[in-house]
Amino acid sequence: MKQPLIALLLSALVVTVDGADAPPVFPLLGLWRVSAATSANGEQAAANEQMELEFLPDGVLIITAASPASGIMAPVRMHWRYTFQPPNVVTYTLSGTPVERQRFAVSGDSASFEHLDYKTSSRLRRIKKTEFRDQPKDIKVFPK
């Protein structure tokens, strides 16, 4: 009777240790579109601002954006890097320099972000394919 009990306890220990070694799953993998954004003073972003973020499994973040209010009429695309700090922080880097840190929460196909440095917030929705009609132009930095 003692041997089956010891075997059961040892197998539970192995499963627990094995599960503890598994890296946490990054819940933002895939393509997302910003559906709302609010500045630190509570103002809503311009209605014609558009941004999509695609998180790839290898740590690459592709940002596609158009901002007529900022003079960016056609979509532009940049390649950034991201790192995931479990359970819910993502840091974006450009040319090896950390640029932004955001805390996020995911619920189904919706996500909310809180910018930890600038206190802005945004809501995103998961999409299957881009909603930009025009082919984006690849750039190295966002125009000012």
- The tens digit of pLDDT for each residue in 71-82 reads 888 899 999 999
Dump pLDDT digits (tens) for 15-71: 444 445 677 889 999 999 999 998 878 787 766 689 999 999 999 999 999 987 778
- The whole-chain average pLDDT of the chain stands at 83
* pLDDT of 9 higher than 70: no
**pLDDT confidence of residue 5:** 44
**pLDDT confidence of residue 111:** 97
**pLDDT confidence of residue 47:** 64
3-state secondary structure the chain: CHHHHHHHHHHHHHHHHHHHHCCCCCCCCEEEEEEEEECCCCCECCCCCEEEEEECCCCEEEEEEEEHHHCEEEEEEEEEEEEEECCCEEEEEECCEEEEEEEEEEECCEEEEEECCCCCEEEEEEECCCCCCCCCEECCCCCC
pTM (2 decimals)? 0.78
**pLDDT confidence of residue 48:** 67
Set out the domains of the chain in order of their start, with CATH numbers.
Answer: 30-138 (2.40.128.20)
